[in-house]
Each structure stands twice: as structure tokens, then as C-alpha cells.
Amino acid sequence: MRIFVIMENVKNKKPLIFLTNDDGVDAKGLNCIIESVRELGQIVVIAPERPHSGMAHAITMYSPLYLRTVRKEPDLEIYACSGTPVDCVKMAYDHLLAGRIPDLTISGINHGSNSAISILYSGTMGAAIEASFYNVPSIGLSMLDHHADADFTAAVEYSRIIIDKVMNGNLQMPLCLNVNIPAVPADEIRGIMVCRQNQGFWREEFVSRQDPRGKDYFWLTGDFYNTEPDATDTDEWALANNYVSIVPVQVDMTNHRQVKELAPLFESPVK
């Protein structure tokens, strides 16, 4: 059966594009990018049943997963999954696609920024990174507007530019791009900047309140601190200056400098 499906996909010669997100299957950003890429080939979508922002690379291990069909049309299938964004990717690659290998994975368009250290918390980027494990080019798309009814016109326009170049660029694998787009009209965007991740960090605060029964509860809030505000080669600088930022992402988190420093301290001589 899998051989037949693969041969059928080759015969059709249509690119297979997989989409997901972390804002949920009904999110405007996801549906805007679905409509934008429909003409490019066969589109398969698995997105979370409900919002899963901040889930990073979480997976579901102790609860069953459910998959619901949302829409089926020629060259478009949309499903909702009860799990996390990474669950959605695994469900697609290891179950639903039945051996077909997508030509591209898109995660987003996210409502809100995933620049700088936010990439570590992002369900959008968790899904994009997971897809890159399958040696498929992946793009995480985010726009700096958290509103549910945000205007994605400019975000879609620049996302299509990036998607087209990735699909036709013969780029080295693995490839995972963290793309963030300013929340301004398209004519105010100055261009696209390939840059590095800013080294800032979040400092959280917990607002403490009491429910009607006198039990304490907390709301998470906080502020982002840019530790290198004068650096002009980071995603934060690009976005502050109305550029679309592209940060190539890798999974290797090894601090190679400290490997060299620590080796003489801990490694025993060969006996």
C-alpha cells in the first residue's frame, strides 16, 4: 500500500506540503497560509484542536490522541489533533501520510513573535524543528501581532516569497528556518534579513490572586530583556527596523567552546 501511494504521488508530480501550527486549527494565521499555498500542490494539514502556545517540543505520552477530519477537498486535507504541535507532526509523518515524504513543512503563521529566546518556548518552532528531523525543509512563520483577527496580508506576502525560494533553492538539508514578520503594512517592510538569534532573555513575574473560595492562583507575565541592544545582526534588530528576520536553526545545542575547556578538567588519562 505504501509503495502504491508513493508511486501515485510521483506520477501526479505535485509537491506535497504539510502544515501545522500551535494556535489551533481554527486560527486565522494558519488558514491564511493554507489559502496562500493551495496552488502549489497537495496540501495536508494537521493542527491542534485547541491553542498550544508555549508547548515547545512537548509530546503526549500518557493520554490517547484523537484525530478529527475537518475538511477534505481536491488537493486539500485538514485534520484536528487532540495533541501538541509536535504530536501533529509525528501523526502526519508516521501515520497519516503513509510513507509519502512532504516537499516542505510549514508551521504557522503564528500569532505573535518567536524571535530570540522565545524559540525555546514556541510550539510553532517545536513543530518546525520536529519536521526537520525527517530531512524535510521546514519553516516556522510568526507575525508580531497576538490579536486573533490580526491582518496577515503582509505576512502572507513575505511568507510566499520565502516559501517559493526554499522550494526552488536546492538548499542543504537539514533546513529549519525561524521566520518572524513585523506587524506593519507590506509597504513599510524594508526587506528580508538573514540574521542570528538575539541573546536576550525573559524574566517572568507571577501575579497572585485569590479565587472566590480564598484559594491562591497565579497568572504568568513578564518582560523581555535585550542584552545586546546595539547589535545590528540579530533578529530583534531586524524586526525593530521593519525587516523580516530569518534565523537558520540547528538542533545541536553543544557548547563547543566549553567542550575544549572542560575536557582537561574532567577526562582521565588513558591507563
Domain annotation covers residue 44: yes
Q: Is residue 138 part of a domain?
A: yes
Burial class, 153, CB count within 10 angstroms (exposed 0-12 / middle 13-18 / buried 19+)? exposed
Residue 206 within a domain: no
Question: What is the band of 271 on the pLDDT scale with cuts at 50, 70, 90?
Answer: low
In a domain, 142, yes or no: yes
pLDDT confidence of residue 270: 60
Is 11 within a domain? Answer: yes
In tens, the pLDDT along 70-105 reads 999 999 999 999 999 999 999 999 999 988 999 999
pLDDT score at 4: 35
> In the predicted model, is pLDDT for residue 194 greater than 80?
yes
Does the residue 58 lie in any domain? Answer: yes
What is the mean pLDDT of the segment spanning 177-206? Answer: 95
The predicted structure's pLDDT at residue 12: 55
The structural domain count of the chain equals: 1
Is a pLDDT exceeding 50 seen at residue 207? yes
Average the pLDDT over 237-260 and give the result.
Answer: 96
C-alpha 237/C-alpha 80 separation (Å) is: 36
Per the structure, the complete domain to which residue 172 belongs is given by 2-198+230-266
Q: Can you tell me the distance from the alpha carbon of 267 to that of 145, in angstroms, rounded to the nearest whole number?
A: 49
pLDDT in the model for residue 92 = 98
C-alpha cell at 163: 516559501
In a domain, 220, yes or no: no
CA 253 – CA 197 distance, rounded (Å): 13
CATH of the domain at 108: 3.40.1210.10
For residue 245, give every residue at least 6 positions away whose Cβ sits within 8 Å of its Cβ, in sequence order, or none. Answer: 115, 178, 179, 180, 193, 195, 235, 238, 239
Give the pLDDT of residue 268: 72
The reported pLDDT for the residue numbered 269 is 65
pLDDT for position 220: 87
| Mean predicted confidence (pLDDT) in 209-233 | 92
Model pLDDT for residues 48-57, shown as the tens digit of each residue: 999 999 999 9
Q: What is the mean pLDDT of the chain?
A: 93
Q: Is residue 77 part of a domain?
A: yes
User: Where does the pLDDT of residue 205 fall: very low under 50, low under 70, confident under 90, or very high at 90 and above?
Assistant: confident
Neighbour-count burial for 249-262, b at 16+ CB within 10 Å, e otherwise: beeeeeeeeeeeee
> What are 125-182's pLDDT values in tens digits?
999 999 999 999 999 999 999 999 999 999 999 999 999 999 999 999 999 999 999 9
Cis peptide before 246 (omega within 30 of 0): no
